[in-house]
Amino acid sequence: MIRFIIIFIFLTTIINAREVGQTEITTDEGIEVYQKEKYYLLKKNVDIQSDNFNLKANQVKAFFDKDLYDIINIYSKGNVILESKQGINATGNEINFNTKNENIYISGEKSYLSNKNIIMKSDGSIEVKNNSGKFNLFGINSKIITTDLEITGLKIEGNYIFINGENVVENLNVEDKTQIYIKTKTLEMYALKADYDKKNNIIELFNNVKIFRNEEIITGDYAKINTLDETYKITSNKSKKVKVLLNKIND
C-alpha cells in the first residue's frame, strides 16, 4: 500500500496573556456569525476580556459595525457579570451593554449595578446612561444606596454627577403604589412619592407621609425636608392636622 506523506496545516494555539488592545473571547459551544445581520452569537460559558471591560455570561449576542472586531452592542443573558474599567460592576439575568457609550440595561431578578459609591438593585430593571448619569430603576425591590441616602420604591429615576472622585445623586424622583422609603443620616421617611433636589438640598414627600427621627414620628400629606440641617415642614390636606407622636426615651 502506497503511503503518502501528507503535509497539512495543523492549527494550534499558543495561549499567552491577552495583549493590550486585544479583545479575547472564549466560548464552550462555539460562535454563530451572521454576516448580513451583523451580529454573532457566542454560546455557553462566554468569557470576554478586553481593555475596557470584562464580561461573563451563558450566552452573548454581539452586534458589530464594520467587521467582527467592531463590537458596538452586547446583549448577554444567563448569570451575566460585567466589570467595566471605568468602575461599573453589574450582574443580572440579562444585560444589554453599549460598548461605545457604556449605557447599560439590566433586567430580571436580583439586577445589580454599582458605580463607585452608588449601588442600585432591582428585581425588575436598571438602566444607566453612563455619559449623562441618567438612571432608571423599575420593579419590586428597586433600591439606590449612596453615601448619604438609601431610597426604595417601585420606580426610581434621576441622574448623578461625578464630583471629587465620587458619584453624587443630583436629582431623583421615586414613586410606589404602596410605599416609598428614604433614609438619611438622621431621618427615615415614608410616602407614596418623593422628589430629591441636591442643588437646593430639598426632599419633598407626597401622600401618606411619615417621618421618623429618633423617638419622634410625624405624619401628614406633604413634607419638605432641608437635607443640610435635616429640618422639615409637614402639612396635611384633609384634616388640616399634622400628627406628632413622641415616644419617651428610657435613659
Partner 1 sequence: MKIALEEVISNEENTSFDIANPSFTINNEGKKISVKAKKGKFLNKNLILLENEVIFKSKQFRLLTNKVTFNQKNQTAESKQSSKFHSDGTTIVSEGFKITEHGDIILFNGKTILILNK
* Residue 20 engages partner 1 in binding (rule: CB under 8 A): no
Closest distance of CB 19 from partner 1, Å: 7
Q: Which stretch binds partner 1 (CB under 8 A): 23-31, 75-83, 125-133, 196-204?
A: 23-31
Closest distance of CB 92 from partner 1, Å: 23
At 223, the amino acid letter reads A
Instruction: Please say whether the beta carbons of 185 and 157 come within 8 A.
Output: no
* Residue 85 engages partner 1 in binding (rule: CB under 8 A): no
The C-alpha atoms of residue 50 and residue 24 are separated, in whole angstroms, by 6
For the chain, first and last CA: distance in Å?
103
Out of 56, 57, 58, 66, the only residue in the binding site for partner 1 (CB under 8 A) is: 66
* Residue 4 engages partner 1 in binding (rule: CB under 8 A): yes
By rule CB under 8 A, what string of x and - marks binding of each residue 24-63 to partner 1?
Answer: xxxxxxxxxxxxx-----x-------x-------------
* Residue 19 engages partner 1 in binding (rule: CB under 8 A): yes
Q: Which residue(s) pair with 160 in the sheet?
A: 169
Map grid coordinates 501528507 to a residue: 6
Closest distance of CB 17 from partner 1, Å: 8
The C-alpha atoms of residue 106 and residue 100 are separated, in whole angstroms, by 17
151 Cβ neighbours under 8 A, 6+ residues apart: 143, 144, 145, 172, 174, 180, 181, 182, 183, 194, 196
Instruction: Please say whether the beta carbons of 90 and 105 come within 8 A.
Output: no
Tally Cβ neighbours within 10 Å of residue 75: 18
Closest CB to partner 1 among residues 12, 239:
12
Phi and psi for 236 in degrees, rounded to 5?
-130, 130
Closest distance of CB 20 from partner 1, Å: 11
Out of 67, 178, 185, 231, the only residue in the binding site for partner 1 (CB under 8 A) is: 67
Binding interface with partner 1 (CB under 8 A): 1-19, 21-36, 42, 50, 66-71
